[in-house]
């Protein structure tokens, strides 16, 4: 799948509230997504969890459903774009194990790490 195809699929599948100015930067082995903050420039915890969910599903297939999630917040989000890097770590039948890293503005110092198990139908 190309970046443009994933972009269109995410825009079609996700509710508008979960898009956060979504832009697919890369989708080869890892998926790299960029999200823009709202008008006030702040990121709520709910918005960051939405980004985690979107990133994990983009890496593992949009039909996958989250079954287990572990999130570690490393530092607060800055009033800047959030870059998400997500990848599938292991495939085990219908289950997938994936991780996502969230960064403020640039891929230098992570602000959040998430690991998850997802199930494909």
Q: So where are the chain's domains?
A: 3-119
pLDDT for residue 102: 97
pLDDT for residue 108: 82
3-119 to CATH, choices 3.20.20.110, 2.120.10.30, 3.10.129.10, 3.90.1150.10: 3.10.129.10
pLDDT for residue 22: 94
pLDDT for residue 61: 85
pLDDT for residue 38: 83
pLDDT for residue 71: 97
Task: Specify the pTM.
Answer: 0.91
Q: Which residues of the chain have pLDDT under 50?
A: none
Using CB atoms within 10 A of its CB, is residue 119 exposed (0-12), middle (13-18) or buried (19+)?
A: middle
Assess contact for 98 and 56: CB atoms under 8 A. Answer: yes
pLDDT for residue 109: 87
pLDDT for residue 121: 85
């Amino acid at each position: 799948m190309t970046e443009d195809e994933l972009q269109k699929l995410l825009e079609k599948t996700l509710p508008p509230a979960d898009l956060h100015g979504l832009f697919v930067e890369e989708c080869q082995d890892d998926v790299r997504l960029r999200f823009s903050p709202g008008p006030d420039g702040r990121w709520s915890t709910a918005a960051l969890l939405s980004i985690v969910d979107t990133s994990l599903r983009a890496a593992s297939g949009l039909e996958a459903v989250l079954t287990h999630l572990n999130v570690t917040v490393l530092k607060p989000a800055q009033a800047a774009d959030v870059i998400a890097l997500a990848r599938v770590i292991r495939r085990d039948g219908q289950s997938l194990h994936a991780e996502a890293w969230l960064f403020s503005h640039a891929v230098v110092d992570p602000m959040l790490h998430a690991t998850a198990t997802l199930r494909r139908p």
